[in-house]
């Protein structure tokens, strides 16, 4: 299984600076780093081995890849890459709940949730938390953390007071940093402390279908296309137009794939779908 780490934190806290250090650092690991935009990254040009479209390959074996229309599709693409990566890191957007992103590991059995690292701005995090427009988001991110990086301590006015304030919101350990300089190995293999997002089975729900008789292909494809919020689906299906064959059906994000896998030997078709609880809860009520 490939560990998945999410780096979160509010806008301007220093997430991208931390990622730049990770990409340039000599950890001996091959990282696949997923970001929303290359624009904010400042990768040393001497480290870039190849730049092609949505992927930058680095000389140290790491890659930096932009997230396309679907994060789960990008994750699966990294898992299925011909050259295996040691670790996958996702930079959450500045207003996202990083715990919910980390919970996506449950959708891909080859991924393992490694932890949520949240970068906080030591200079103004308390003021932002009191802002009625963004305060809930800031506090939610802090509570999601398995590890906190208290950044910008060199310009913060009262670091002990900020640490005490953080301790009132989370039991996660805190690393103090200047310009996001931290021992990189401390970011991985952290114990679970995050409160928000819950465990994967609290955030997501599965729903299964079974058919004793062969399944109409077009009807099943239409059902998969119409289930817009399904993040992952997998099934072993006996289609009516090819009842002698065993078909494997996958859906990752909005991408649907069907492949043949030898002769049919089962007793019935089965499809399992995974998605956020509200979506699948409504599906069940239908």
Per-position DSSP letters for 7-71, written without gaps between them: EE-STTSSHHHHHHHHHHS--S--EEEEES-STT----GGGEEEEETTEEEETTS-EEEE--S-H
| Number of residues that make up the chain | 286
Strands 245-252 and 232-237: antiparallel
Instruction: Determine the pLDDT at residue 2.
Output: 93
Residue 283's pLDDT is 36
CB 236 within 8 A of CB 210: no
Q: Which of 237, 231, 228 is nearest to 258 (CA)?
A: 237
Residue ranges of the chain whose pLDDT lies below 50: 196, 198-201, 279-286
The pLDDT of residue 107: 79
DSSP state letter for 253: T
Share of the chain above pLDDT 70, in %: 91
Nearest-CA neighbor of 187 among 149, 135, 140? 149
Residue 56 tokens, joined = 């930058």
| DSSP assignment letter at 84 | -
Q: Which pLDDT value is given to residue 196?
A: 44
Q: Encoding tokens for residue 85?
A: 């990566």
Q: How many CB atoms lie within 10 A of CB 162?
A: 22
pLDDT at 195: 59
What structural domains and CATH numbers belong to the chain?
2-198 (3.40.50.300), 204-285 (3.30.1220.10)
- In this prediction, residue 276 carries a pLDDT of 66
Q: What are phi and psi of 210, to 5 degrees?
A: -135, 140
Residue pLDDT, tens place only, 183-235: 999 999 988 887 545 444 455 667 788 999 999 999 999 988 887 777 778 88
Instruction: Give the span between the Cα atoms of 202 and 43, in whole angstroms.
Output: 38
pLDDT number for residue 282: 34
User: Helices marked H in the chain — which ranges?
Assistant: 15-24, 71-79, 98-102, 125-130, 135-143, 159-167, 200-203, 217-226, 277-285
Q: What gap in Å lies between CA 57 and CA 75, rounded to an integer?
A: 16
């Amino acid at each position: 299984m490939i560990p998945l780490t999410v780096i979160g934190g509010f806008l301007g806290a220093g997430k991208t600076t931390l990622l730049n250090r990770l990409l340039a650092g000599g950890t001996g690991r091959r990282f696949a780093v997923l970001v929303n935009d290359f624009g904010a990254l400042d990768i040393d040009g001497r480290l870039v081995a190849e730049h092609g479209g949505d992927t930058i390959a680095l000389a140290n074996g790491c890659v930096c890849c932009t997230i396309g229309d679907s994060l789960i599709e990008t994750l699966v693409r990294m898992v299925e890459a011909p050259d295996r990566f040691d670790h996958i890191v996702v930079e959450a957007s500045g207003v996202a709940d990083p715990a919910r992103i980390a919970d996506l590991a449950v959708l891909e059995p080859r991924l393992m949730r490694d932890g949520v690292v949240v970068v906080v701005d030591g200079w103004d995090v308390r003021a932002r938390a009191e802002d009625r427009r963004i305060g809930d988001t800031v506090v939610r991110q802090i509570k999601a953390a398995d590890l906190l990086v208290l950044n910008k301590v060199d310009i913060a006015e009262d670091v002990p007071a900020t640490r005490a304030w953080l301790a009132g919101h989370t039991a996660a350990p805190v690393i103090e940093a200047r310009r996001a300089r931290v021992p990189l190995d401390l970011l991985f293999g952290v114990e679970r402390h995050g409160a928000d997002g819950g465990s994967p089975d609290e955030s997501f729900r599965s729903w299964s279908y079974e058919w004793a008789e062969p399944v109409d292909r077009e009807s099943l494809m239409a059902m998969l296309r119409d289930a817009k919020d399904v993040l992952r689906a997998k099934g072993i299906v006996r289609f009516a137009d090819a009842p002698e064959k065993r078909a494997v059906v996958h859906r990752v994000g909005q991408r649907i794939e069907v492949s043949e896998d030898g002769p049919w030997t089962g007793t019935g078709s089965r499809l399992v779908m995974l998605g956020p609880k509200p979506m699948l809860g409504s599906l069940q009520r239908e």
